[in-house]
Amino acid sequence: MSDIDGRAVAKALREEVGEAAEKLRSEGVTPTLAVVVPTDDEGTAWYVRSIAKTASKVGIDCRIEHLKDPGRGEIVAKLQELSADPAVHGIICQTPLPEGVTLSEVGGYIDPYKDIDGANPHSLGRLAAGLRTWAPATSAAVLELLKREDIELRGTRAVVVGRSTVVGKPAALLLLAESATVTVCHSRTKDLAAVCREADVLVAAVGRAGMIGADFVKRGATVIDVGTNPTEDGGLVGDVDYDAVSPKAGRLTPVPGGVGPVTTMLLLRHTTEAAALTQTHA
Ligand code: NDP
C-alpha cells in the first residue's frame, strides 16, 4: 500500500493558487475571503487561524468576522452584508452554529457567486444538475486527491459512507459526475462492511474513529479517509483504522495529512476563481 500524500497535493495547489492570486493583484483585484465565525469553539478558532495563515502566504486577504453569541438574525445579517460587499469574493460560515440553526438554511443567504464552500442549497442543486458551481471544499478535496493521483473513476464502484450535506452527498455527486457507480451508506445501512467491500474507491465521512476496519476493504481498493476525530492526547485520527487497513488497501489517505490540507487549499482556490469571475463580469 502507498499513502496518498495530501500535503504534497496541497503544496502543488499552493503554487497554482499563489499564481492566480498574484495575477488578480496585478489586475488591481485583491482576492478576499470572509470567514464568519459564529462560535467561541476553540477547535474552530484554531482552524480559522490556519486558513488565515495559509491565505496570507498565497496572497489572499482573509477577513475573520467573529460573532459573539449570535442569534440566527445576526448570522443572516452578516452573510447578507458580506454578500453585498464588492470587496469580498468568497464567504464561508463556520460551525458549530447556535442551537436550532442549520448551515443549509443560513447558507441560503450567501450570494451564490461568493459561495465558495457550497453552503447555499442552490449550489448543491447546481451540482446535482451538473451545472458549474463550487462543491463544498471537503468533498471537492476527495475528488482532487483522486484525480491528482490518476485514480481511474469511470466505471468503477465507489462507496461513500456518510450522507451529510457538507461531505457525503456532494462527494457522491462528484463521483457520479466522473461516471463511477456510486452507493451512499449511512447509519441505517444493513451489512455496511459487505457493501464497502464492493468498493474500488471507498470514501469514509462518518466521524467515528477507526470504524472502517480491514473487513470493510477490498484488497487493492483506494480509501479516502475524510474523518477527523480528536484524540484524548490532542491528536487527530480518521474514520479508517489505518494500521489494519493499510496492508490491504491499494492507496490510502492518512489522517492528518490527507484530505485536510487539500480542503484548505481548495477554499483558497475557489476564492481566486470567485474573484476572477468579478473580472469577467466587470
Ligand atoms: P455528520 O455527522 O454530519 O454525518 C455523518 C454521517 O455518517 C451521517 O450520514 C451518518 O448517518 C453516518 N454515520 C454515523 N454513524 C454511522 C455508522 N455507524 N455507520 C454508517 N454511517 C454512519 O458528519 P460530517 O459529514 O460533517 O463529517 C464527517 C467526518 O468528516 C467527521 O469526522 C468530520 O470531522 C470530518 N470532516 C473533515 C473535514 C476535512 O477537511 N478533513 C471537513 C468536514 C468534515 P445518518 O445520516 O444516518 O445519521
**Mean pLDDT of the region 256-272:** 98
How far lies 152's CA from each of 148, 158, 200, 222, 264, in Å?
Answer: 11, 11, 9, 10, 24
Does residue 182 have its Cβ closer than 6 Å to ligand 1? no
Number of helices (H), then strands (E), belonging to the chain: the values are 10, 11
Greatest alpha-carbon pair distance for the chain in Å reads 56
**Mean pLDDT of the region 2-22:** 97
Residues 6+ apart with CB under 8 A from 163: 169, 172, 184, 185, 186
- pLDDT in the model for residue 2: 87
Which atom belonging to ligand 1 lies closest to the Cα atom of 211?
A: 18
CATH no., domain 28-111: 3.40.50.10860
Does residue 208 have its Cβ closer than 6 Å to ligand 1? yes
CB 16 within 8 A of CB 268: no
Do the two domains 28-111 and 137-259 of this chain adopt the same fold? Answer: yes
* pLDDT for residue 41 is more than 70: yes
Using one digit for the tens of pLDDT, what is the confidence trace for 117-170?
999 999 999 999 999 999 999 999 999 999 999 999 999 999 999 999 999 999
Does residue 30 have its Cβ closer than 6 Å to ligand 1? no
Distance of CA 245 to the CA centre of its chain: 23
Cα(148) to centroid of ligand 1, in Å?
A: 24
* pLDDT for residue 241 is more than 80: yes
Question: Binding site: residue ranges?
Answer: 162-164, 228
Which atom belonging to ligand 1 lies closest to the Cα atom of 141?
A: 40
* pLDDT for residue 282 is more than 60: no
Cα(164) to centroid of ligand 1, in Å?
A: 6
* pLDDT for residue 250 is more than 90: yes
**What is the number of alpha carbons within 13 Å of residue 44 lying toward its C-beta?**
17
Whether the complex's predicted ipTM is more than 0.90 is answered with yes
How far lies 15's CA from each of 9, 59, 147, in Å?
Answer: 10, 11, 17
Question: Binding site for NADP(+): residue ranges?
Answer: 162-164, 228
Give, for ligand 1, the residue of 161, 226, 241 to mutate: max count of ligand atoms closer than 8 Å to Cβ. Answer: 226
How far lies 86's CA from each of 66, 111, 114, 186, 200, in Å?
Answer: 20, 11, 10, 40, 44
**Mean pLDDT of the region 22-43:** 97
- pLDDT in the model for residue 280: 73
Using one digit for the tens of pLDDT, what is the confidence trace for 206-240?
999 999 999 999 999 999 999 999 999 989 999 99
Cβ count within 10 A of residue 219 = 11
Domain ranges of the chain: 28-111, 137-259
Instruction: Give the angle subtended at the CA of 165 by the CAs of 95 and 53, to the nearest 5°.
Output: 40
Instruction: Give the angle subtended at the CA of 226 by the CAs of 159 and 236, to the nearest 5°.
Output: 145
* Rounded distance between C-alpha atoms, residue 265 and residue 33, angstroms: 12
* pLDDT for residue 1 is more than 90: no
Whole-model pTM: value is: 0.97
Using one digit for the tens of pLDDT, what is the confidence trace for 58-111?
999 999 999 999 999 999 999 999 999 999 999 999 999 999 999 999 999 999
Using one digit for the tens of pLDDT, what is the confidence trace for 174-212?
999 999 999 999 999 999 999 999 999 999 999 999 999
- pLDDT in the model for residue 281: 62
CB 204 within 8 A of CB 224: yes
Give, for ligand 1, the residue of 164, 202, 265 to mutate: max count of ligand atoms closer than 8 Å to Cβ. Answer: 164
- Residue 242 backbone phi and psi in degrees, to 5: -55, -50
CATH no., domain 137-259: 3.40.50.720
